[in-house]
Amino acid sequence: MSESMQLQIDEIVDQLSPPSGAVGLVTSKDVRELVRKAATQGTLIGYVAGERLTRTQTTRTIADLNYEYDQLKSHCKSLEMEIMALKR
């Protein structure tokens, strides 16, 4: 888990935690609501991290493919020049 994800999780824990020194009664409904919020927020953090990773990998793949395309384009141009020279 990345440090930024851990920081986001810590922020959510702080948001969902009761104030220090608080005393109270927690019902099963309250626990269910708290667990639902935590699961939803955790899922969103993971989803965003996955999307960022996918975007980074896709950007690299596109850059690699563009480089390969330029190399092949250059090679084709060289071959065309050779063919033109041989035809003369």
Query: What total of structural domains would you count in the chain?
Result: 1
Residue 69 domain-assigned (yes or no):
yes
**pLDDT tens per residue across span 23-72:** 888 889 988 999 999 999 999 999 999 999 999 999 999 999 999 999 99
What domain range includes position 58? Answer: 28-88
CA 84 to chain CA centroid, nearest Å: 49
pTM of the model: 0.65
DSSP 8-state code for residue 16: H
Residue holding tokens 């994800």? 5
**pLDDT tens per residue across span 64-88:** 999 999 999 999 999 999 999 999 8
Residue 5 domain-assigned (yes or no):
no
Residue 72 domain-assigned (yes or no):
yes
